[in-house]
Amino acid sequence: MKDLAPSTVRQRLLIEATYNKELEKNDIKEFLLSLADKLKLRIYGDPIIHSPSGTGKVENQGFDAFVPLIDSGISLYVWTNEHFLSVVLYTCKQFSVKDAIEFTKSFFDTLELEYSEF
């Protein structure tokens, strides 16, 4: 992909995993806030968390969440019935990919995890 803004610093990371933990709304909030703290990314608003239970397909039930960062944002999508999650970090500040992956593994008690920087 051609870099259309070479003077703009940005780092992007996609993490997908299967996990072994039962999750509630508070867990989602804790993950987003703790991940930002671990990576030294500054939050400027509360996490937004949606859980549209009973709407849509049963296999797609879970959480859609976002926390705004001064340095961009973190999105989290969780399929609770499938025990699958997808995290997207998009920042204008460099962060440790290793720390992001290790924190996610530990927090969710992951079974399998894949990631891609883009």
Which class is 19-117 in CATH? alpha beta
Distance of CA 2 to CAs 72, 75, 89, Å? 21, 24, 20
Instruction: Report which DSSP code applies to 37.
Output: H
pLDDT digits (tens, 9 = 90+) for 15-73: 999 999 999 999 999 999 999 999 999 999 999 999 977 666 777 789 999 999 999 99
Q: What is the pLDDT of residue 54?
A: 63
Q: What is the pLDDT of residue 67?
A: 98
Q: What is the pLDDT of residue 111?
A: 97
Q: What phi and psi, each to the nearest 5 degrees, are found at residue 58?
A: -55, -40
Strands 110-117 and 84-91: unpaired
Whole-prediction pTM:
0.94
Q: Rounded to an integer, what distance in angstroms lies between the CA atom of residue 67 and that of residue 71?
A: 11
pLDDT digits (tens, 9 = 90+) for 71-111: 999 999 999 999 999 999 999 999 999 999 999 999 999 99
Q: What is the domain partition of the chain in residue ranges? A: 19-117
Q: Rounded to an integer, what distance in angstroms lies between the CA atom of residue 68 and that of residue 84?
A: 23
